[in-house]
Copies of this chain bind each other. A is one copy, B any other.
Amino acid sequence: MQIGMVGAGRMGANLARRLSRAGHECVVYDRDADAVARLESEGVIGAVSLEDLIKKLETPRAVWVMVPAARTDEVIDALGAMMDADDVIVDGGNSYYRDDVRRAATLAARGIHYVDVGTSGGVHGLERGYCLMIGGEPVAVQRLDPIFRALAPGVEAAPRTPGRAGEASTAEHGYLHCGPAGAGHFVKMVHNGIEYGQMAALAEGLAILRKANAGAIARDSDAETAPLVDAEFYRYDIDVAEVAEVWRRGSVISSWLLDLTAGMLRDDPELSGFSGHVADSGEGRWTVQAAVDEGVPAYVLTAALYERFSSRREGDYADKVLSAMRKAFGGHQEKLT
């Protein structure tokens, strides 16, 4: 089928490519004309403006928006003003699900359908396919089924879950209609929350392995340094890159994140190319907020988020308060190690 794509950055370009390769007609617009030109050479139809994009699509139209979160509202507003009743706007970016609820209501007043799609897969999605979590009215989601199917990894991407029988569900293809407007981004939000937790679990574990030789290293012995009890039990020089590799086969923690980590550690076991300032991009925060609102104790997901804050030294003032208190009650001077 035919679909418009607004945004030809890292994600949008690959979505267009994957759709085009699957035989769908993809019309693409991006402010960066070069990005569009590159795609045209790969069988995609270019557009020079939003108006042009709209003109090149047959009704009822479907336009997939894939722009940075900060620009999504502006693009959707512009599209909404140009499009007609029964057209569909898809937001495939990392929107906050509450914005979906608002947008869907606004567009519904004009008869335009709004579909939110949480998209996981990163830079590997072009080859592996994308995992799609979808929210919106059934009629619109249904209409886009060929698009979703082409983007998703397909059933063969994983062995069938024991107990499942008959025709594969869409989830088994790698896409799922999760509920009304916002449901797709809600599920994607929690997905990213879990991702933060999985990443942190692995990172902490590797850090513990890496310091398994702490007992072999000289250590100050003064009142400001906790003694290492049982230093003789921390004398291992663990090759963390090989450990990550061995865990990939047969272990309970084998996972795609582990596969990627094994690759990074093989290239640079010291990870000397990184400073350790870890960004967070919204979903982790919203997941914590949902946990708090719902009253679900999410210790792990929250700690994983906070570790990213800590990595950027956002906790510095609190640390200074602690140092100040220690000086006040115990006369402790800070020790700079």
Contact = CB atoms under 8 A, between A and B. Distances in A.
Interface in A49-74: 68-70
Contacts of A292: 285, 288-289, 305
A251 to B, nearest CB: 4
Given A300-B300, A336-B275, A260 B307 contact: no
B319 A279 contact: no
A80 interface: no
A295 B274 contact: no
A166 interface: no
A272 B208 CA distance: 32
A238 interface: yes
B201 A317 contact: no
A143 interface: no
Contacts of A170: 246
Given A158-B254, A173-B249, A321-B202, A187 B334 contact: no
A152 interface: yes
Contact of A293 (B10, B128, B228, B312): B228
A267 to B, nearest CB: 6
A37 interface: no
Contacts of A274: 319-320, 323-324, 327, 334
Given A236-B178, A242-B176, A250 B131 contact: yes
Interface stretch (A25-33, A39-47, A219-227): A219-227
Q: How many copies altogether?
A: 4
A318 interface: yes
Interface residues of A, number: 173
A91 interface: no
Most chain B Cβ neighbours within 10 Å, of A238, A303, A316, A337: A303
Interface string A260-272: 1111111110010
B285 A322 contact: no
B187 A194 contact: no
Contacts of A228: 293-294
B334 A277 contact: yes
A162 B290 contact: no
A190 B173 contact: no
Interface string A190-205: 1101111111111111
Given A128-B250, A225-B279, A299-B299, 5 more contacts: A68-B221, A158-B248, A174-B250, A208-B291, A253-B257
